[in-house]
Amino acid sequence: MKAFPLLLQAAAAACALFAQIAHAQTFPPPPPPAAPVVVRVVEFANSLTGRNVWLADPAEIAAVESGAAGPGWARNGYWFDTSNAYEEDRVDVCRFYAPASNSHFFTANAQECASLRANSTYWIYEKVPLRAHRPSPVGSCGLDVYRLYNNNMHNGAAHRFTTDRALRKRLTEEGWIDEGVAFCVDGSGRDTERSWVAKSTGEGPRSDCDDPGSTVGTCVMIRALSPMSRALPFTNGDLGTGFYGEGTRFTSQSTDDPTTIFANSFVEVSPPASDAPEDLFKGRQFGFRLVGSNRIVGDLATAGVVHWLPTSALVSTAQSDERVFPWGDGREHDLRLAFNLRSWEDRYDDGPAQSYGLGVLRFQDRTTGRSLMVTLQVWGRAKPVNVVLRDVFTGQPIVSTFFGFGGNSFGTTDSGGYVECPGPCIVSVRLQFATFAFRIARADFAKVIAMARQVDPGLSGDPANYLVSSFQFRGETHRSAAVGFAVDGLTLSLSK
């Protein structure tokens, strides 16, 4: 019987000893799994053969850029991001090459990959260059990469892979066969080659600002309105334009009474900013109060911001040519106009009165010196329309469409949509803040030229012959309409 207490004591001592050991000895946690690597995949286009290929391997990219794959290859700006993660819905993407047509083919379908490797003599298996999300049973898996087949046009079979729905639409219009979603990725875009931003100089509005050759750079325009030479600094744009922050208000009124100033047309501009990185988003805002009853001639009054680009040829070979020919190099580029907009008021005091908001691009034909305008309708009293007409001031062709996702005669809306205000819109807050972006590809501009030549047959039919002379945003009132609006970050960009 005495042995049992001794056994209990021994057991207790042993437990205490193990507890001390366990407390004293620490085991390192297992290492965390390696973080998935984001893979940037870029597209190359060959200007000589018309072929395209996506590359992710830095060594392959460097080789192609050094000319190892032959002449004509260059990045076209398109990219997408994926990951090397071994997730449940992420699979290998196989790459094949066809020497006969000098083209590449990608598939995320394991059965298709295995079948081509085993049976095809046309497509030669190269590697698994990336991983991506597999398409869902309904054909989409998030950010879709579409596969299109050229139907054996243009020197043999070729495929194009893209996340760009506008490009997909254009290729199908050209006869390519849409083969649906090939795989999905985590992000995509297109790099910019050059861009220009309308930035305040601190100066007031000018009546000659919309005249070709009046300046190079940004200026504020008014038309059919009295000069606004009186400058009034302010700290908060609270008079119905949507302008925020500090700036200078230019008015034709001699009084400081806010009620009187508000009842008439005026312009607000940001303080000028430098080109330093910390001033990147400064000096880009312009506010406008446009009252049609202030007009001094005709039925239309106009106010807006214009940025002029160089239009003159080189004086000497030592100078760089700053003119902008979007499609002069024979490559596919997108020309994109973007801006942020606040529209504070839209008022019609009589039946026929109305107001308009327009993004505007002006192009010049270098072979003839003639010009044409593209206008993009942002707001109006009537429904948006596709129209070709002659400018009442210059006689130049105007080809007009609108911001929206359907029904456009050319171009692609990336963001924003036409706002219709049939009226009466008395003191109507319509757009607190909205971003608008519209892009034009070479094929779109070819359509623009064809429509403009209905008005001016002397214009060149080749998109390569056109330079961009200016871009702008403007508001217009007809008769007694009134409108207040602010535009910020008016930017023109050209993709790679």
pLDDT at position 4: 34
pLDDT at position 303: 97
pLDDT at position 13: 46
pLDDT at position 265: 96
pLDDT at position 392: 85
Ordered by start, the domain boundaries in the chain are 38-190, 195-314+321-495
CATH number of the structural domain 195-314+321-495: 2.60.120
pLDDT along the chain (496 residues), means of 10: 40 44 52 73 94 96 96 95 87 96 95 96 95 81 92 85 95 94 95 96 92 83 96 80 90 92 94 80 91 94 96 68 93 95 74 89 96 96 94 92 94 93 55 86 97 98 97 94 93 97
Q: Which 3-state string (H, E, C) describes the chain?
A: CCHHHHHHHHHHHHHHHHHHHHHHCCCCCCCCCCCCCEEEEEEEEECCCCCEEEECCHHHHHHHHCCCCCCCEEEEEEEEEEECCCCCCEEEEEEEEECCCCEEEEECCHHHHHHHHHHCCCCEEEEEEEEEECCCCCCCCCEEEEEEECCCCCCCCCEEEECCHHHHHHHHHCCCEEEEEEEEECEEEECEEEEEECCCCCCCCECCCCCCCCCCEEEEEEECCCCCCEEEEECCCCCCCCCCCCEEEEECCCCCCHHHHHCCCEEEECCCCCCCHHHCCCCCEEEEEEEHHHCCCCCEEEEEEEEECCCCCCCCCCCCCCCCCCCCCCCCCEEEEEEEEEEEEEECCCCCCEEEEEEEEEEEECCCCCEEEEEEEEEECCCCCCEEEECCCCCCEEEEEECCCCCCCCCEEEECCCEECCCCCCCCCCEEEEEEEEEEEHHHHHHHHHHHCCCCCCCCCCHHHEEEEEEEEEEEEECCCEEEEEEEEEEEEEEC
Q: State the pTM of this model.
A: 0.86
pLDDT at position 140: 67
Mind listing the pLDDT tens digit for each residue in 277-286? Answer: 777 778 999 9
